[in-house]
Amino acid sequence: MSSTMDRAMEAFRFWMEDDYFDPEVKQELLAIRNDEKEIEDRFYKDLAFGTGGLRGVIGAGTNRMNVYTVRKATQGLANYIKEQGSQEKGVAISYDSRRFSPEFSLEAALCLAANGIKAYLFDSLRPTPELSFALRHLGCTAGIMVTASHNPPEYNGYKVYWEDGAQITAPRDKEIISCVRAVTDYGDVKTMDRESAEKQGLLISIGSEIDDLYMEELKKQIVHPEMIKEVSSDLKIVYTPFHGTGLVPATRILKELGFAQVYVVPEQADPDPDFTTLEYPNPEDPKAFALALDLAKEVGADVVLATDPDADRLGIYSYDTKSESYVGFTGNMSGMLIAEYLLREKTKEGTMPENPALVKTIVTTNMADRLAEKYGLTLIEVLTGFKYIGEQIKFFEQDHSHQYVFGLEESYGCLAGTHARDKDAIVAVMCLCEVAAWCKSKGITLWDQMLKIYEEYGYYKEDLHTITLKGVSGAEQIEAIMTALRKDPPTKLGSFEVLKIRDYKRGVIRELATGAETDCGLPESDVLYFDLEGDGWCCARPSGTEPKIKFYMGVKGTSLSDAGEKLEDLKKALLTLVD
């Protein structure tokens, strides 16, 4: 028996025998007692508390999401907060519609309370961006969001935010991880009953008062409220929250702004932890839009919107009058639609702040660079993950170097305004509908406007290819792929010459023509990025939260078809390289 299996069996027996674990958990484990492979997968390690927190399959075991792993993580966080001397500020907690989300959030709150740290717990499910807003409004030291974002139904997760409202970044992330890992004995994990926590003022319920303030902050991002009212009765919007947290805030903000024709997909309106009508609750998946597009055709909608379960990401379709069909937008496309409108209209209205900045991740479209150039914004590039965009807002406030205008990432996330420090699908819904209203006032569609943007800035097209490799062997395969790419990097990919290689693990950018190396200027991360000729690029990056390695790529073409051909050429060359 391998040492990994030995450790797994020892942990399995401990969970089966120790009185700390509930009878229901032992019953679940009893059912797998003869399945060594399942035991190994559940117990070969502790569920990793990574730079974003926890994320995993729900179930009994050290490598699963359950009340015990949530308590241990929260105890580690509580220990860190007390080390920082900020326990008096408290922690805000929210959760989405997933299985055990209410239970996990309450367990986290009671653990904090038992450690003498006040927990502000939302009275029902709320979006991730509202949690980011709430913790800043309440002056909390940290925040916890119980969600697995767009993962399948069997997953749940636990994301940690710090007092600036963004998810934790270096060096704080590693410091918190160390505190979480230091909790090895379940006997060191504190908890208390809810009634006692409430009586002692350590557990406080929050809700509608935060909702109202959040709504008011969102409305500040509207440029032309009068224009919305003029066309609101003509613009038809179909919306689906994908059984998640978006229904109440998204429909509320649209109604309060005057959008009169909003049609919600009835089958997907209510929270449902099983996501019954969906294979995968992800706005990146075209299949997830089937019911919404059916409703759109029925009512003659101009735009179709979908938010993921924790409402931080937005997917859209627009009606195209020429083909008389609906066209799907990538996250890069919808982000550029909103950014182009905001930058253009703020410039025209004279409301662009001094030293404005546009922030994007390294795997987001290069069209953002061209847009920033036109309107005179500083373009700042950060590592993948919206927490790094949120971190830039903090830096701007500290050094007064820039004023944040807009931030986006390719994975359907963006943020207008600084009310939150994470991507916000509710503000994105609102802004996108303002763009749709502007288009309606000009007699064009969102797709027509996207084509105009392509004509002006170039036909940029991007793609993502993901390889899933689970378990111990999968992690080893992912590491081997990255090692091989570093050891023997390509000098050409298909028809594209490689101009530069950015190795964010080594922290250097190497010019292939000269061999010269410069500092990449970003934190260390296991990422390889290849700058290609003609404004093309590709990037290899292991996921920090899932057993996956992701390959991002982008090109610039002279037309949609030319860009599509170039992208296929690049993708084929890249996948041949790693197969």
Q: How far is Cα 478 from Cα 528, in angstroms, rounded to an integer?
A: 13
Query: Which one, of 449, 443, 391, 439, lies nearest residue 415 by Cα?
Result: 391
From 102, 467, 423, 425, select the one nearest 242 (Cα to Cα).
Answer: 425
Chain centroid offset of residue 158 CA = 13
Distance, CA of 571 to CA of 463 (rounded, Å): 8
Rounded Cα distance between 154 and 374, Å, is 45
Can you state the percent helix, strand and coil of the chain, rounding each to 5?
A: 45, 25, 35
Which of 1, 3, 31 shows the shortest CA–CA distance to 16?
31
Asked whether the beta carbons of 351 and 344 are under 8 A apart, the reply is no
Phi, psi of 369 (to 5 degrees): -65, -45
Query: 3-state SS of 153-187?
Result: CCEEEEEEEECCCCECCCCHHHHHHHHHHCCCCHH
Peptide bond into 241 cis (omega under 30): no
Helix (H) or strand (E) run with residue 451 in it: helix 446-457
CA distances in angstroms from 445 to 2, 91, 238, 290, 449, listed in the order given: 61, 44, 15, 21, 6
Enumerate the active-site residues: 149
Nearest-angstrom CA–CA distance, 544 and 524:
13
Peptide bond into 171 cis (omega under 30): yes
Nearest CA to 240 out of 302, 315, 299, 301 is that of: 315
CA distances (Å), 68 to each of 50, 79, 81, 551, 560, in order?
17, 16, 20, 34, 51
Q: Which position has the token pair 């991880």?
A: 177
What letter does residue 500 receive in the DSSP assignment?
A: E
In whole angstroms, give the CA distance from residue 70 to residue 395: 31
Query: Could you tell me the two tokens for 357?
Result: 């900045």
